[in-house]
Amino acid sequence: MRRIPTTNWAASFSYGFRDCLYPSSMDAVCEIVARSPKIKAVGSGHSFNAIADGEVALSLTELPINPVIEGDGTQVSIGAHCTYGELALFLHRHHLAVHNLASLPHISIAGAIATATHGSGNGNGNLATAVSGLEIVSGDGRLVNVARGDADFPGMVVHLGALGVVTRVTLDVQPEFQVAQCVYEGLTWDKLLANLDEIMAAGYSVSVFTQWGQQAGSIWVKRTASANEWPAAIYGAARAMVKRHPISGLDAQNSTEQLGQYGRWSDRLPHFKMGFTPSSGEEIQSEFHLPREYGVAAIDALLSIRERFAHLVQAAEFRTVAADELWLSPQYHRDTLSIHFTWIRDQEAVNAAVEHIEQTLSRFMALPHWGKVFTRRHIGAKYEKLPEFVRLRDRMDPERTFSNLWLEDAILGSSGN
Ligand SMILES: Cc1cc2nc3c(=O)[nH]c(=O)nc-3n(C[C@H](O)[C@H](O)[C@H](O)COP(=O)(O)OP(=O)(O)OC[C@H]3O[C@@H](n4cnc5c(N)ncnc54)[C@H](O)[C@@H]3O)c2cc1C
């Protein structure tokens, strides 16, 4: 459907677009970019800050996604605006899978890799780490192809929408695998803090959900078919015998299958089912990534200030993400514990709470999720590879066609000019 995007998915952020263009051919994409003083590619609109804002939007939804299996079944090349849900349907027909998914399948691949979107799992890199090639239209309307091994590649995958319009991605794929999940309830803070590493290692992908109350909450364990029997309890948390929603009180029907039943990877790795409303809908999100070795101290520090933010939390989640080589990835050369907050939709109160959290987590080298709410500025300066990224952007977009205030102010600061 052709329309000018007015708000993000959660209706927590209003875009300033005055037009949206819907090219239906690659020639048209290149021509639009070449003639536009400013253009902003939009994905599925699931980010919570101004990262995707601009004057004129460009949607790729009228381009065909044309998926192609490559490299003897080890890679798939596909239109970058494709959602992970659509990708999973295609891969299933070929008995293939990607290594991991975020909590929902509704997001576009281009938008997800732009912000280093991730799932969980000690051994699982964020979703951008599956990218092995990109086709991208640079500021002068030229089609640029880049592949893993090229000098600029590690700078281009987590792109923040700053380098061009990503039109196709090539992703590593593997044979399809089965996953089952179980929820363990009644985890205490003592047990979590004493056994954080062991708990996060309990499966292929593990999430701990909390509301920062008297108890820590629940452990969501996703295991592959090769794993052992499900234990009755994990560190005192008992296996749930009925299906749960990550936000207590919401209908578990929207959640992916639980209770230890094995099924397709794509039907279990996200928390939320395709075709249903993910999460709560009326929400704001923030997330902070910090080195795993600081995890216990960071959670403990947040516990000591929880009266400043807990009343705004619908759900919070701890996940782990493996280190990578991507310049603007919060996992660049570090395994992280990622501390996520789904807030009620009260931006002013959330901003105040986030400031407290940022201050508390600053001594643990925390970096915010690029697509969620944070209040600190010049975040890019915390990235070792920012100077290389700025030089790459100078080459890809010398006229700042893809730039917006968020990028210049919140991220690049003075170093981007
Ligand atoms: C309910 C919900 C659950 C979420 N769960 C998770 C989670 O589990 N893990 C996690 O890490 N994050 C999660 N997120 C955050 C989300 O994954 C990120 O914000 C992601 O970037 C959203 O992708 P999008 O396609 O909606 O991108 P948008 O918000 O539309 O855009 C994000 C950026 O990508 C750029 N972009 C989009 N398409 C293109 C393109 N074709 N070419 C160039 N640039 C482009 C935009 O310009 C912008 O800079 C969640 C968000 C919601 C709303």
Q: What are phi and psi of 225, to 5 degrees?
A: -60, -25
Rounded CA gap, 172 and 292, in Å? 26
Atom of ligand 1 nearest to the CA of 54: 47
Name the closest-CA residue to atom 27, ligand 1. 111
CB 329 near ligand 1, within 6 Å: no
CA 57 – ligand 1 centroid, Å: 15
CB contact at 8 A, 120 and 374: no
Please tell me the predicted confidence (pLDDT) of residue 273. 76
Helix 295-304 and helix 347-361, axial crossing angle in degrees, nearest 10 = 130
CB 291 near ligand 1, within 6 Å: no
Topology annotation, domain 68-176: 3.30.465
Phi-psi region of 91 (alpha: psi -120 to 50; beta: other; left: phi over 0): alpha
The residues of the chain that CATH labels 3.30.70.2520 are: 178-368
Mutate to test the pocket of ligand 1, among 108, 209, 328, 396 (most ligand atoms within 8 A of CB): 108
Q: Give the C-alpha distances (Å, rounded to integers) separating 364 from 59, 155, 197, 330, 338.
A: 38, 25, 17, 13, 12
CB contact at 8 A, 48 and 373: yes
Please tell me the predicted confidence (pLDDT) of residue 416. 42
Kindly state the helix (H) or strand (E) to which residue 303 belongs, with its residue range: helix 295-304
Rounded CA gap, 299 and 217, in Å? 13
CA 234 – ligand 1 centroid, Å: 33
Rounded CA gap, 237 and 191, in Å? 9
Token couple for 271: 């928390």
Please tell me the predicted confidence (pLDDT) of residue 414. 55
CB contact at 8 A, 219 and 237: yes
CB 36 near ligand 1, within 6 Å: no
CB 102 near ligand 1, within 6 Å: yes
Rounded CA gap, 221 and 228, in Å? 12
CB 163 near ligand 1, within 6 Å: no
Please tell me the predicted confidence (pLDDT) of residue 60. 98
The residues of the chain that CATH labels 3.30.465.10 are: 68-176
CB 168 near ligand 1, within 6 Å: no
Rounded CA gap, 104 and 106, in Å? 6
Q: pLDDT of 64-109, one tens digit each? A: 999 999 999 999 999 999 999 999 999 999 999 999 999 888 999 9
Please tell me the predicted confidence (pLDDT) of residue 227. 63
Token couple for 359: 């201050």
Say which CATH architecture domain 178-368 belongs to: 2-Layer Sandwich (3.30)
CB 41 near ligand 1, within 6 Å: yes
CB 80 near ligand 1, within 6 Å: yes
Please tell me the predicted confidence (pLDDT) of residue 412. 87
Closest CA to 206 of 279, 123, 294: 123
CA 277 – ligand 1 centroid, Å: 16
Beta partners for residue 165, in sequence order: 137
Q: Collect the ranges in the chain with pLDDT lower than 50.
A: 415-417
CB 46 near ligand 1, within 6 Å: yes
Please tell me the predicted confidence (pLDDT) of residue 277. 63
String of b and e for 218-238 (b: at least 16 CB within 10 Å)? Answer: bbbbbbeeeeeebeeebbebe
Rounded CA gap, 60 and 74, in Å? 26
Atom of ligand 1 nearest to the CA of 81: 41
Name the closest-CA residue to atom 7, ligand 1. 102
CA 114 – ligand 1 centroid, Å: 7
Atom of ligand 1 nearest to the CA of 80: 41
Q: Give the strand pairing for 237-239 and 233-234.
A: antiparallel
Alpha carbon 6 to its chain's center? 22
Closest CA to 269 of 66, 104, 151: 104
CB contact at 8 A, 120 and 206: yes
CB 112 near ligand 1, within 6 Å: yes
Mutate to test the pocket of ligand 1, among 20, 38, 42 (most ligand atoms within 8 A of CB): 42
Please tell me the predicted confidence (pLDDT) of residue 1. 76
Instruction: Report the chain's mean pLDDT, rounded to a whole number.
Output: 95
CA 368 – ligand 1 centroid, Å: 14
